[in-house]
Structure 1
Amino acid sequence: MPADCRRFSNFNSQQKIPNKMIKKVLFSHFPFVIIFILSCGGEKFRLPEQPEGTDGTAAVSDTTYIQLNPIWEPPTHDFNQPKDILLGREPLIYIADTGNDRILMLDLAGNILGERNIENPVALAQDTRLRLLVVSDSNKIFRIDLVAANHNLANAIVDTVFEEVDNPDRKYTGIAGFVRVGQQGQPIFGYYVTATGRETRDNQVLVFPDDFDVRIPDAVNLEPNGLGILSASEPSGVTTLGDFSIDFIFCMVGQNSFKVQWITGGEFGFTTRISPANGGLDIFEPGKFTSPEDVTIDNEGSIYVIDAQRDFLFKFTATGDELQSFGESGSGEKQFNQPHGVAVFNKTLYVADTGNNRIVRFRLSTDIGQ
């Protein structure tokens, strides 16, 4: 929803933070950090070998994604341009119903359990303490403490935890939480936020502490509006890999040759986990994406990217090889209209089909009935 070392930089001053400070702030006791996905340089995720046909050649697999019914759409679900979907840790489903200026809470069966008004929400995240983070189409970040409200979303307090008053023209487009291990072995929480704006330097992946108690957020030292790897050109979404990993994958819609990048943390800074220098990777194929709006990753390490302009859902292995991708323009089965959000849980794939005002779900044919 990314192997050269990169450092954080202060957004306004652009002064590089010394390596010693980076290690202290982000990589304290880094060897104890448990990486959720296989470590860099390990064995790649392998697809099952295809069975051989009677002539000795590989048989073509009929594994494909099947659309599930019912579709969550009007009149049972009165969505208006939903732009993000989040599978919470409870697990519950949260939807940024952007055109209706609200957040919805659903159970796994699709029953609406509650809603809360927030103007123009576009991206959602949840931390390990079940607090909901909301990004609107602005430079504000909101937080909802669901536990304090006994998961009564309608009565929950919406706190504005950050507003970038020094840069009112910048807009936030995505948010994801991460956890690292502190010096005493304690969990330390933080957030990545994708940002865009009119100024070149506005295009960045920002880093916030858990309490958002900063005036100017730090930024991953990507090249703003760059055309290559380790750069950010109108970043549109971000996802993290689970607890105790500071890796993140982000996507962008600007003029960049590599619109989906996996960034990994190391002892000396940020590097790319997969790189076009390796050659032959589908995820870096020129023209593969047009307008990727969101990205997520499942427990097996498969990466999912939703492209709003191509009306297409891409699936890749953790090393960038393409798997079962699908989609076309329309409102029928396995069709989309400017989809903006994607999530996965328990082998079920969820897509916020924005232009069709619906949420559609899919399962692999081999997983139906499981």
Structure 2
Amino acid sequence: MHKRITAAVLGCLLLLCGGLPAYALPQMSYTIDPMYGYKIPIPLTYSVDKVILDIGDQGFNKPSDLFIDDKGLLYVADTDNDRIVKLNADGKVLGSYGKEQGVDLDKPGGIFVDQLGDMFVADTGNGQVVHLSPEGKVIEAFVKPESSLLSPDMEFAPDKVILDRRGYLYVLNKNDYSGFMMLDALNRFRGYIGANRIPFDWKKLLVRVLATPEQREQLNNEVPPQNANLTLDGKGFIYTPTVLIDTDQIKKFNAMGENIYKKAAFGQSSIDSGTMELPYFVDLAVDQYGVINALDAMSRKIYQYDQEGNLLAVFGGQGDVKSRFEYPVSIVTDKAGKIYVLDRDRNNIQIFQPTRFADLVHRASQLHYSGRYQEALVPWKEVLTIDENYPLAHRGVAKALMKEEQWKAAMKEFKLGEDQDGYSKAFAEYRHDIMRKYLGWLIIGAALVIYAVYLLVRGMIRITNSVIRRYGY
């Protein structure tokens, strides 16, 4: 109880800090209480290692996408400069591909680089996906495919693009609510995946029943939520953030196009502006531990989730100082766990270095998700030596104790981690264990009690009969 009160007080202080000017805000991280929803301050998870801003005579101009390849090289879709910029991790320009280099791009919105170094550019303004060699030479262009399944009036304006291991392109087309377009190497349309549906609403159904024909026509024009981006992880899964909805904002698609990620509400809604504002995730990045970094352009924060949908940490925010953003649009991670965030309005890239606390949490969550609870016990305990109030660590320790059949100790950890379901399971196992250990003795004890009662009743009957025979009643 003392820990919970302390965390609540610190959470209130964290909220009060939101009213301070940007220059007065320290770097802070927090998580959210899984049961009651208040903020729990945690040790700093990331610090700014470097800011890439000055890249030469021509700086970034409203860039909109960032990619990092297997070698750690960065690629920026420098949208308003109509070019792709290639940099090393220190921010040194290694190449620029635009009109001056013979690459006629118009407001490129997305960039993807394969293992060979070939670039695939979502050339939004020209309505095509351009394939460039590692040296920046145009190899081919993918335009709107010819298919009876596509409307002749549909505008082809690729905004984001990825390439899977089979050689299929997945294109996020602007103002296309059908999902991702799938194109093969011959520019043939292979279908859509990741389509969203309009959620059922009883109020809208009632309005539809009572509405005039004109009002029904307006309801028929309603479109489903749109995906904002798409990301490919090292195992070939496609992740996408969906905007302007209050649940299931993060999705993970398998090869069949099925969402296999936890269905839940992610991020935090805000009423700071006076109206309810939903999270607006514009990009996702998945690191080597499987940790999902979700970039929220509304709050300018980064939310980290594990593969089970548990919130690990939140950091960032709006401001004009390091570790804060004006309008972040893209996020990537490298093999060392560093996070790179592209800020469209500040025209820079901030590089975040994980702290030991963050690294321990990520390693433990990966082992935990893999079912290696005993191995995860070591980093979870280290996490608790740094922050004894971190709820997910208590849950991790509890599951390791469950594997060791230490039910009572697991119950204690589940309680500290505020996991009601886990506590119930541990209690059921504890009760079953008690019954299994002492059932024989309980049966013997019950039998002895019954026998004793039998003897007592029998004795009382004898005494009663003796009294009756002696006194006649």
* Alpha-carbon contact 1:235-1:254 (below 8 Å) kept: no
Report deviation, 1:192: 2.0
Residue of 306, 314, 329 corresponding to 1:325: 314
Cα gap change, 1:338/1:225 in structure 2, threshold over 3 Å: closer, same or farther? farther
Residue of 142, 167, 178 corresponding to 1:189: 167
* Alpha-carbon contact 1:83-1:97 (below 8 Å) kept: yes
The whole-number CA distance in structure 2 between the counterparts of 1:264 and 1:309 is 28
* Alpha-carbon contact 1:337-1:353 (below 8 Å) kept: yes
Residue of 262, 266, 270 corresponding to 1:283: 266
**Structure 2 residue 121 is matched with structure 1 residue 134:** yes
Q: What is the SS of the residue equivalent to 2:60?
A: coil
The whole-number CA distance in structure 2 between the counterparts of 1:330 and 1:203 is 36
Letter in 2 for 1:218: G
* Alpha-carbon contact 1:106-1:112 (below 8 Å) kept: yes
Q: Which residue of 2 aligns with 1:114?
A: 95
Cα gap change, 1:203/1:224 in structure 2, threshold over 3 Å: closer, same or farther? farther
Residue of 218, 222, 240 corresponding to 2:191: 218
The whole-number CA distance in structure 2 between the counterparts of 1:362 and 1:120 is 28
Cα gap change, 1:171/1:225 in structure 2, threshold over 3 Å: closer, same or farther? farther
Report deviation, 1:249: 0.7
**Structure 2 residue 133 is matched with structure 1 residue 145:** yes
Residue of 177, 180, 205 corresponding to 1:205: 180
Q: What is the SS of the residue equivalent to 2:257?
A: strand
* Alpha-carbon contact 2:240-2:252 (below 8 Å) kept: yes
Greater mean alpha carbon deviation, residues 168-177 or residues 312-321: 168-177
**Structure 2 residue 234 is matched with structure 1 residue 248:** no
Larger Rg: 2
Cα gap change, 1:171/1:235 in structure 2, threshold over 3 Å: closer, same or farther? farther
The whole-number CA distance in structure 1 between the counterparts of 2:230 and 2:198 is 17
The whole-number CA distance in structure 2 between the counterparts of 1:93 and 1:221 is 27
* Alpha-carbon contact 1:68-1:363 (below 8 Å) kept: yes
* Alpha-carbon contact 2:267-2:303 (below 8 Å) kept: no
Letter in 2 for 1:192: Y
Report deviation, 1:343: 0.4
Count of residue pairs the alignment pairs up = 279
Q: What is the SS of the residue equivalent to 1:325?
A: strand
Unaligned runs of 5+ in 2: 1-39, 99-104, 147-151, 202-222, 271-276, 359-473
Q: Which residue of 2 aligns with 1:173?
A: 159
Q: Taking every aligned residue pair, what percent have the same amino acid on both sides?
A: 17
Q: What is the SS of the residue equivalent to 2:230?
A: strand
Q: What is the SS of the residue equivalent to 1:362?
A: strand
Cα gap change, 1:60/1:358 in structure 2, threshold over 3 Å: closer, same or farther? closer
The whole-number CA distance in structure 1 between the counterparts of 2:153 and 2:177 is 9
Superposed CA deviations along residues 29-68 of structure 1, whole A, max 9, x for unmatched, are xxxxxxxxxxxxxxxxxxxxxxxxxxxxxx9852421011
Letter in 2 for 1:213: N
The whole-number CA distance in structure 2 between the counterparts of 1:274 and 1:339 is 24
- TM-score (normalizing by structure 2): 0.53
Q: Which residue of 1 aligns with 2:329?
A: 340
Q: Which residue of 2 aligns with 1:24?
A: none
* Alpha-carbon contact 2:63-2:77 (below 8 Å) kept: yes
Q: Which residue of 2 aligns with 1:312?
A: 301
The whole-number CA distance in structure 1 between the counterparts of 2:92 and 2:156 is 36
* Alpha-carbon contact 2:294-2:304 (below 8 Å) kept: yes
The whole-number CA distance in structure 1 between the counterparts of 2:183 and 2:76 is 23
Letter in 2 for 1:252: T
Q: Which residue of 1 aligns with 2:140?
A: 159
Report deviation, 1:168: 4.7
Superposed CA deviations along residues 228-264 of structure 1, whole A, max 9, x for unmatched, are 9xx9622110011225x3x211112244632221122
Report deviation, 1:171: 3.2
Greater mean alpha carbon deviation, residues 293-302 or residues 161-170: 161-170
Report deviation, 1:196: 3.5
Unaligned runs of 5+ in 1: 1-58, 147-151, 180-187
Cα gap change, 1:102/1:171 in structure 2, threshold over 3 Å: closer, same or farther? same
Superposed CA deviations along residues 74-118 of structure 1, whole A, max 9, x for unmatched, are 475711111111111233111111121110011122100110112
Cα gap change, 1:136/1:313 in structure 2, threshold over 3 Å: closer, same or farther? farther
* Alpha-carbon contact 2:319-2:326 (below 8 Å) kept: yes
Q: What is the SS of the residue equivalent to 1:222?
A: coil
RMSD: 3.0
Cα gap change, 1:204/1:212 in structure 2, threshold over 3 Å: closer, same or farther? farther
Report deviation, 1:176: 1.8
Report deviation, 1:130: 2.3
Cα gap change, 1:203/1:226 in structure 2, threshold over 3 Å: closer, same or farther? farther
Residue of 252, 262, 276 corresponding to 2:252: 262
Q: What is the SS of the residue equivalent to 2:80?
A: helix
Q: What is the SS of the residue equivalent to 1:99?
A: helix
Q: Which residue of 1 aligns with 2:348?
A: 358
The whole-number CA distance in structure 2 between the counterparts of 1:103 and 1:122 is 10
Report deviation, 1:203: 3.6
Q: Which structure has more helix as a fraction of its residues?
A: 2
Report deviation, 1:140: 1.6
